[in-house]
Amino acid sequence: MIPSPRRGRAFRSLSVAVAAASAALLWTGCQPAQPNIIKYAGHVRANSTVKIHPTAIVLHWWGGRSGGRGINTLVDVLNSRRGSVQLGTLQSGKTYQLTDTLDTRAAHASCANSYAIGNEIEGGGNGTSSDMINNAAQFNAVVDTTDFLMRKYHIPLNGPVLAGGRGVVGVHSHKEIDAMCNRVGKVDVDNAYMNKVRAALRARGF
């Protein structure tokens, strides 16, 4: 069972932030346009049946020797690490759904798993976004998918990451999540890529 967040001042502030963002998105009258998300036919061992109420989106990347080899390689990496994630976007721009539903809990970012939908973006593994940031097909797919999720679940662009896994709101990188959870080592996605994603979403009215 996933423990409920503490019902303190921080949680109340988080609830207010989510409610305000939901009202703003509903006010625009925008209906989410379904991007081309392909349901993965294989099996991710660590997939859960638990549902979450998404209040955030977390962007990741994967690379190294596994980058550039497609969705099956991402699944192999997840299975070897007992991890899972809702989505994966390839260098080609194809996006795969790896969980039963988009609001199925996945193990992709320790302090955000109970709140966030994750998207693993396929990179080349050089530790920066230089091999990804100018890939128009992939970048547009990431923005389109993030836009869709924000409208579907009324998730704002900006929002807090509460320390200790007590709540997450907004669109964040894995690096940003870990920084608030006293964890180190994650560099994805880097600031250049995250800034470009946020700029594209702001241009769409978020």
Question: For residue 6, what pLDDT is reported?
Answer: 44
- d(CA 30, CA 116) in angstroms, rounded, equals 22
Could you give the percent of the chain with pLDDT greater than 90?
66
Six-digit token string for 66: 């596994």
* Average pLDDT of every residue of the chain: 85
**For the segment 116-163, what is each residue's pLDDT rounded down to a tens digit?**
999 999 986 666 788 789 999 999 999 999 999 999 999 999 999 998
139 to each of 80, 95, 135, 164, 166, how far by Cα in Å? 27, 11, 6, 31, 30
Average pLDDT value for residue range 40-58: 95
Token pair of 6 as six digits: 């503490």
Residue 118 counted as domain residue:
yes
Residue, of 139 and 30, whose pLDDT is higher = 139
Residues spanned by the domain of 26: 10-203
Domain count, the chain: 1
Is 2 a member of any domain? no
pLDDT of residue 84: 97
Using 50, 70 and 90 to split pLDDT, how confident is the model at 99? very high
Cβ atoms of residues 119 and 146 within 8 Å: yes
SS3 of residue 19 by DSSP: helix
Q: Is the pLDDT of residue 66 over 80?
A: no
Taking alpha carbons only, the member of 166, 162, 132 closest to residue 59 is: 132
Low-confidence winner among 19-28, 101-110, 175-184, 192-201 (lowest mean pLDDT): 19-28
For 72-86, how does the pLDDT look when each residue is reduced to its tens digit (9 = 90+)? 999 999 999 999 999
Its pTM stands at: 0.85
Tokens linked to 118: 């994750």
Q: What are the C-alpha distances in Å from 3 to residues 23, 72, 115, 126, 178?
A: 27, 32, 12, 37, 19
In a domain, 5, yes or no: no
Identify the CATH number of the domain in which residue 19 sits: 3.40.80.10
Residue 122 belongs to a domain: yes
Strands 87-89 and 116-122: parallel
